[in-house]
Structure 1
Amino acid sequence: MTENADLALAALRARGVAEPVDFAVLLGFGLSGWSESLADAVTVDYSDLPGFAPVDEPGLIGRLSVGRLEGANICLLQGQAHFYGAGDPTCMMTPLQTARLLGAKYLLILAGAGSVKPDLYPGNLMLVADHIALFGLNPLIGLPSDESIFPLHDAYDPRLQRRLKRAAAAAGVPLQEGVFMWVSGPTFSTPAEGRMARQLGADAIGFGVAPETILARCLGLRVAAVAAATHFAAGLQASEPSLAEGQSHTLAAVVPLRRLLRAFVKTADTL
């Protein structure tokens, strides 16, 4: 099951990646291109790593970078494939396996989402406390039961969540907390779907986070996730949500997300 990840690891070793990483960061929609923040970075295109699916974001080349940030050695997964593009909910398994083989014990997911909460405005950040897989699909379906059956009561690690809250306070970054609903995409939700999501207890909806969290937990990674609200779901605003609007509000969230990441990384030695 790790054959492609083993080959990807060998490719990274051949490019000079030797030191183990402290943790991995998965950058979702609109959040790529952060490798310039890393010192002594080694960056490899996904296309040069076996088993890495191409990313779905138009015009984006997925890249894996390993380097140092605030004294910690981290693995940046810049861009990701989604179920709606790959047709496979396990499409991020090999990148996560590779991060695990590099030594990561923790995964921080940074993603975009549509808000179904009236006071979660576009550009705001939300710490993911839990998730709902709306359509019941699980990326572990088909795996042996001894690998795939485990509890998810702590899918989003409480200790990592506390550290993210402290990091947000230290960096002066407002951080709400809520429930993320995974939907298949690629279309935006209908007004009725947005209302249903809210009635079921969701605060934000999006095309990822949940499957990557499930895969990561299967691999033994502890997970935390932060979603940047990129738009209001249909029915919560007068205008229709659009890809351009999502990209605009994601850009507005980049600065606070980077500040939050730096503050969080400073605590890596105490995780």
Structure 2
Amino acid sequence: MAELTYKQQIVEAAAALKERLGGRQPSIGLILGSGLGDLADHVENAVKISYDEVPHFPVSTVEGHAGQFVVGTLEGKTVIVMQGRFHYYEGYSMKKVVFPVYVMKQLGIGTLVITNAAGGMNRAFQAGDLMLISDHLNLTGDNPLIGPNDSELGVRFPDMSEAYSREYRELAKRIAGELGTEGGEPIRLQEGVYSGITGPTYMTPSELNMLARVGGDAVGMSTVGEVIAARHAGLKVLGISCITDMAIGDELEPLTHEQVVAVANRTKPKFISLVRRFVREVTV
């Protein structure tokens, strides 16, 4: 029996998910990073589907990632939430890492909200800030689009001049300002360039100094491949980093994954408020 093509695998995975959704068609996808998965608990009338129940899916092996889809209603819109993601450093190919993005597109989404935990390299930031991603540096040495292109998934040479929607960023900034004036917790919403690395090691002081000099404001081990795939698929993207630690080369201190998750957990209330309001107000 011939091996299925990438597109055929996407179609099979989406069909298996669709059978579980009772006719609901999500319009917004959300990928939740380390320590941020609790947003999925706010989804109403939720259907939860473990990744190991979906054909051709890998399994998330990272602590703090639940490893399931949650589909239901959030702020009046039908959403599909990835509670945990896949990473290049887990040993998966970049095509496998971004596979869920194409599956969500096949299910009907047009908007993708991508979140992550990241180290802050900009000295104006502080741990606990949220950063809108304005652009990224792909420092993984790989690209999910390398190899034959399937024109049914997207064009051979996708434009990346606005990988992160300017319209969505402006909406998020307005919402952050309004939440602070409405009596909620003020949100320190930064904006900057995300440097995507492979991991799983945290970076050395010299590596961080280099990244800061070439224009990086934050650094992390995800997101870049997913955004490339999203733009290839024609999705509009909002990217948000939770700055969990300060990764300044000259002042670097030892760091553990547990510390990253702990800061993300403390940041969750304002993160959830921002994303929920964005989902409510965004036009899809």
- The answer, yes or no, to whether TM exceeds 0.5 is yes
Shift of 1:263: 1.0
Shift of 1:212: 0.6
Residue of structure 2 in register with 1:179 after alignment = 193
* 2:237 is the alignment partner of 1:261: no
| Secondary structure of 2:137's aligned partner | strand
Aligned length: 270
2:18 corresponds to which of 4, 13, 19:
13
Q: Distance in 1 between matches of 2:61 and 2:156?
A: 27
Contact 2:29 2:79 survives alignment (8 Å): yes
Shift of 1:153: 0.4
2:122 corresponds to which of 108, 117, 124:
117
- 1:2 partner amino acid: K
Contact 2:31 2:113 survives alignment (8 Å): yes
Residue of structure 2 in register with 1:227 after alignment = 241
CA RMSD of aligned residues (A): 1.8
| Secondary structure of 1:227's aligned partner | strand
State the Cα deviation string for residues 109-134 of structure 1 (Å, max 9, x = none): 01111111122111110000000012
Q: Distance in 2 between matches of 1:85 and 1:160?
A: 31
* 2:156 is the alignment partner of 1:148: yes
| Secondary structure of 1:226's aligned partner | strand
| Secondary structure of 2:193's aligned partner | strand
The TM-score with structure 1 as length reference comes to 0.93
* 2:73 is the alignment partner of 1:73: no
Residue of structure 2 in register with 1:217 after alignment = 231
Matches within 5 A, 1:19-168: 19-58=24-63, 60-144=65-149, 147-168=155-176
Q: Percent identity?
A: 30
Contact 2:10 2:99 survives alignment (8 Å): yes
Q: Distance in 1 between matches of 2:148 and 2:240?
A: 28
Q: Distance in 2 between matches of 1:246 and 1:12?
A: 32
State the Cα deviation string for residues 191-243 of structure 1 (Å, max 9, x = none): 00110010001000000111110011111111110000111226354631221
Relative to structure 2, which stretch is displaced further, 187-196 or 61-70?
61-70
Structure 1 unaligned regions, length at least 5 = none
| Secondary structure of 2:80's aligned partner | strand
The TM-score with structure 2 as length reference comes to 0.89
